[in-house]
Structure 1
């Protein structure tokens, strides 16, 4: 510990720990065990707040939350994309509005082809705004398809057992927590395996690849990295145009 203290002094570093235990101890062990150190520079330490979260989340170390309170100029972020609900569109009204807008455009010339293109895109967007409902494009973490009420109930039971042991570190409470934590781990593993097996059995040669990858992302609990997060038409107008007027059609034998 003296060597570590000297090293921190030499490197101008500070320890953020406040003495709270960071490891779940066994009965009759030191309940103040704190083997996990949070270290930062001396210039950053006054801006940091450090605390231990009340749950180990089935580990033997408590989660640690370090927050930095520093006023900065907020970065300019694009407004979230309001995606169109194409399944609720009034396509007849959209087509009529688009035809009226296009007829009012001037004939394009070779010198102003980009201007003509921008005007046409504006017609598409104006008609879409009038006759296609929108939904928020805010990103969200997709739920795992195998999770159910039994999983939630088991996790709550594990949390309550851990809380009871933290409040009264007896052998009985420790064994109870260990048993419930093992049951919870086994249940979640079985649910995930059964969900993946069910998904694989539901696949067929006609299953869309977009559905396959969407489900895989849900099993991984990851966000869709291809989600558009800007209202800038240049970032999604091409995809929208391809949606309403595909540049190609699938082979006949691929049609349902």
Structure 2
């Protein structure tokens, strides 16, 4: 029984990671190359390795910025008067990196216990008799 509860808690506590719509293989490759250049510089601290790392980091920033602009331009070009407002906000939140977290109290028994304790705390019988 305890093992089942632990598994249930672990499953509910996972945070979902939404991949950004602008992320692509080019961004992934650029970051990987930049990290490799950084590791190379950390192992062999030469001015040449530092220059290579700085160039790779600048190139990575440029690629990510370009990818974000292209993704936004593509999305804006698809908006028209019949586009639902909720899908627009979902896209804006996904681009800005706003994650949605799942409710940890998703199990019905936990919901009932939470609701009962909340009702007990906020009931009129907890108020002073003078009110």
Other-structure match for 1:147: 23
How much is the aligned-residue C-alpha RMSD, in angstroms? 2.7
**Are residues 1:195 and 2:78 paired?**
no
Other-structure match for 1:169: 45
Structure number with greater CO (CA < 8 Å, separation at least 6) is: 2
When the two structures are aligned, how many residues end up with a matched partner?
A: 103
Distance 2:10 2:108 in 1: 8
SS at match of 2:62: helix
Structure with greater proportional helix content? 2
**Are residues 1:160 and 2:30 paired?**
no
Structure 2 matches for 1:25-44, cutoff 5 A?
Answer: none
4+ runs deviating over 2 angstroms: 77-80
Q: TM-score, normalised by structure 1?
A: 0.36
Distance 2:10 2:31 in 1: 37
**Are residues 1:180 and 2:64 paired?**
no
> Over alpha carbons, which structure has the higher Rg?
1
Mapped contact 1:141–1:221 kept (Cα < 8 A): no
Structure 1 unaligned spans of 5+: 1-73, 81-137, 236-256
Query: How much has 1:232 moved relative to structure 2?
Result: 3.0
Distance 1:161 1:204 in 2: 44
Structure 2 unaligned spans of 5+: 1-5, 112-131
Query: How much has 1:222 moved relative to structure 2?
Result: 2.1
Q: 1:186 to 1:231 in 2, by over 3 A?
A: same
Q: TM-score, normalised by structure 2?
A: 0.68
1:154-193 deviation digits (Å, cap 9, x = unpaired): 0000000000000011011011111111111111011111
Distance 1:78 1:154 in 2: 34
